[in-house]
Amino acid sequence: MNLNPSELDDLLAAWAFGALDPVERAAIDRLVASDPSVADKAHELQRTVAALDTDLLAPPPTGLAGRILAEANARPPVLAQPSLPLDLLAHQIDALGELLDHLEPADWNRPAHPYAWNVRGLVAHLLVIEQYTAGVLGLEADGPVGDGHLQMGAEQIATWVDDPSPSLADAWRDRAEHTVEALRSGQGPAPDTEVGFHEWSFSVDGLLIVRAFEMWTHADDIRRATDRPLWTPLPSDLRAMSAFSVSTLPFLMAGVAPDALHNARVVLTGEGGGTFNLGDRATDAPSRQLTLVTDVVDYCHRVAGRVEPEDLDFTAEGDLDLARQLLDVASAFAV
Amino acid sequence: MIARIRVGDDEALAAVYTRYGSLVHGVATQLLGPGDAPDVTQEVFLSLWERPESFDPGRGGLRTYLAVRTRGRCLDRLRSATRRAQRETRVAESTPMTAPKVDDTAVGLVAAHHVREALSRLPDEQRRAVQLAYLDGMTYQQVAIAMGAPEGTTKSRLRLGLARLGRELSSWNLVNAGDPT
């Protein structure tokens, strides 16, 4: 379609009114899609036409809202399918392993906030926890036991901190991958078996998700320590971690405020997010206590204890005290 | 709200409907009459629910998006062969635009007043062309026939009329007004 500027302007105005025949409309649609300057002009005209609609208000018939919502709920949006726990863990092992492969020698000595260790110490801690996890899963007979999460294996960590050899990364990765391979081959307990991990009890699948979460968090700790940009997991991985984290909120809330949570909604926006109803009356929307909305990655950072509730960008409709309580307990598994 | 709709929050869809339902239904009623307007209203909101990524905030706010989608769907229906005959009787069966609900606020009433003012200040031939295209959903060729004017002249009238409306409505901050996303 060859048009001089005046002809184009005439057609764009008619396009904005929807007053072109189908052939011309298709041609202008293609032009708008391919030429940003034409698109700017076209959408400005479209906004003007839409402004005219201010005078065309007509309340919809009673009951239409209910029909639309019922139909919408019958067609839920296709969201990222959550990764299987073993795949999720394997992805985080790969991501951390690749990060460690690219560290410079000096990077290993950088302080790894919020811990007292340097990066080497943090990776040694991860190695200890891999050994502990293998013991919990019955994959290693002599894994470390007792002590708290951060205190566990203190002597071993101290040894690694003083050892400048690069074998620490290999040792950690070998141990982590061995756990994944063993579980994939059917060793260890069934996925729904309850196992004790520190003071908590998780299903095996839950434990794998917690470990994946920990690995992502510590990888980001190392990225911060070495001035690298933070990393966002795949949407399917985020979905698995965020969904698991939200699912633990009723249990965690029961520990601090029994009977406080009846009907709340948590909306985690962004790829890998989702909408979650919590509480024993969670489907009774008209009496919703709270709708808490935040970005899925930000929420995961909160769960990991890397963002404080007062620093989290969120909106809450309803019970603000309940929102603060949920955000407080959300990081209960963070270490 | 769009970010919430993207992750399946039906309450966000309900909030958008509460805010813009009268607009969508109003545009559909104007172009198709009251019989088809609820169906189009449902289609527009379900389309937003199923394909929220089709909304591009860079092209204008949610209000603009919904109005444009509604108009597009209505015009498609209006111009289909099976609907052509119904169109002739549409005026007879249509009901007058309803006064805005209380929750559409005084701001909406003032805006509507300014829109009417801006339309009334257009030169007669531009206003007539705009009304036939905008309110009656005619193509510019149909407008040209209705006004007994050449097609080129008709397109220019639409362009000049729209440009003038744009200036006037912008001076009242009505272009993109009420468009939080």
Supply the ipTM of this predicted assembly. Answer: 0.79
B83, pLDDT greater than 70? no
> What domain range includes position A310?
240-329
Distance (Å, whole) CA A169 – CA A68: 55
B95, pLDDT greater than 50? no
User: A14, A40, A55 — which closes off a domain?
Assistant: A55
Q: Are A151 and A188 contained in the same domain?
A: yes
How far is CA A232 from each of CA A129, A219, A282, rounded to the nearest angstrom? 23, 11, 30
Distance (Å, whole) CA B92 – CA A332: 66
- Look at residue B104 in the predicted model and tell me its pLDDT: 46
The reply to whether A79 falls in a domain is no
Strands (E), A145-222: 194-197, 200-203
| Interface contact B59-A59, CB threshold 8 A | no
- Look at residue A35 in the predicted model and tell me its pLDDT: 87
- Look at residue A301 in the predicted model and tell me its pLDDT: 92
Q: Give A92-137 pLDDT, tens digit per residue.
A: 999 999 999 999 988 998 998 888 888 999 999 999 889 889 888 8
**Mean pLDDT, rounded, of chain A:** 87
The reply to whether A18 falls in a domain is yes
**Mean pLDDT, rounded, of chain B:** 79
pTM (global) more than 0.90? no
Which CATH number is associated with domain B1-95? 1.10.1740.10
Output B147 or B170, whichever has higher pLDDT: B147
How would you class A145 by CB atoms within 10 Å of its CB: exposed for 0-12, middle for 13-18, buried for 19 or more?
A: exposed
Among A residues 54-113, those touching chain B with beta carbons less than 8 Å apart: 54-61, 64-65, 67-69, 71-73, 75-77, 79
Which CATH number is associated with domain B99-181? 1.10.10.10
What percent of chain A is predicted at pLDDT more than 70? 95
Residue A78: count of CB within 10 angstroms of its CB: 8
Q: If you average pLDDT over residues A4-20, what whole number do you get?
A: 87
Q: If you average pLDDT over residues A200-216, what whole number do you get?
A: 91
The reply to whether A65 falls in a domain is no
Domain ranges of chain B: 1-95, 99-181
- Look at residue A102 in the predicted model and tell me its pLDDT: 92
pLDDT level of residue B10 (50, 70, 90 thresholds): very high
Q: Give A42-76 pLDDT, tens digit per residue.
A: 888 888 887 777 767 778 888 999 999 999 999 98
Q: Give B53-64 pLDDT, tens digit per residue.
A: 888 877 767 888
The reply to whether A36 falls in a domain is yes
Q: Give A262-299 pLDDT, tens digit per residue.
A: 889 999 999 999 999 988 777 766 778 899 999 999 99
Tell me whether A29 touches chain B (CB under 8 Å). no
- Look at residue B44 in the predicted model and tell me its pLDDT: 96
- Look at residue A313 in the predicted model and tell me its pLDDT: 92
Asked if B55 and B63 touch (Cβ cutoff 8 Å), the reply is: no
Asked if B178 and B107 touch (Cβ cutoff 8 Å), the reply is: yes
Q: Are A102 and A198 contained in the same domain?
A: yes
Tell me whether A239 touches chain B (CB under 8 Å). no
> Which of A48, A64, A275 is facing B165, going by the closest CB pair?
A48
The reply to whether A61 falls in a domain is no
Q: If you average pLDDT over residues A5-18, what whole number do you get?
A: 88
Q: Count of domains in chain A?
A: 3
Q: Are A90 and A217 contained in the same domain?
A: yes
- The H or E element containing residue A191 is none
Q: CA of A312, closest CA in chain B: separation in Å?
A: 17
Q: Are A188 and A224 contained in the same domain?
A: yes
| Interface contact A275-B9, CB threshold 8 A | yes
Tell me whether B139 touches chain A (CB under 8 Å). yes
Output A141 or B162, whichever has higher pLDDT: B162
B103, pLDDT greater than 60? no
How do A264-269 and A290-295 pair as beta strands? parallel
The reply to whether A24 falls in a domain is yes
Q: Are A150 and A259 contained in the same domain?
A: no
B106, pLDDT greater than 90? no
The reply to whether A190 falls in a domain is yes
Q: Are A122 and A178 contained in the same domain?
A: yes
CATH number for the domain that contains residue A246:
3.30.1050.10
Q: If you average pLDDT over residues A194-222, what whole number do you get?
A: 90
Asked if B9 and A265 touch (Cβ cutoff 8 Å), the reply is: yes
The reply to whether A163 falls in a domain is yes
How far is CA A249 from each of CA A275, B36, B69, B155, B164, rounded to the nearest angstrom? 14, 46, 40, 61, 56
A182, pLDDT greater than 60? yes
- Look at residue A239 in the predicted model and tell me its pLDDT: 95
- Look at residue B101 in the predicted model and tell me its pLDDT: 41
Task: Spell out which residues of chain B touch residue A265, defining contact as CB-CB under 8 Å.
Answer: 9, 11
Q: Are A93 and A215 contained in the same domain?
A: yes
Q: Give A15-50 pLDDT, tens digit per residue.
A: 888 888 888 888 888 888 888 888 888 888 888 887
Nearest to A270 by CA among B12, B10, B56, B3: B3
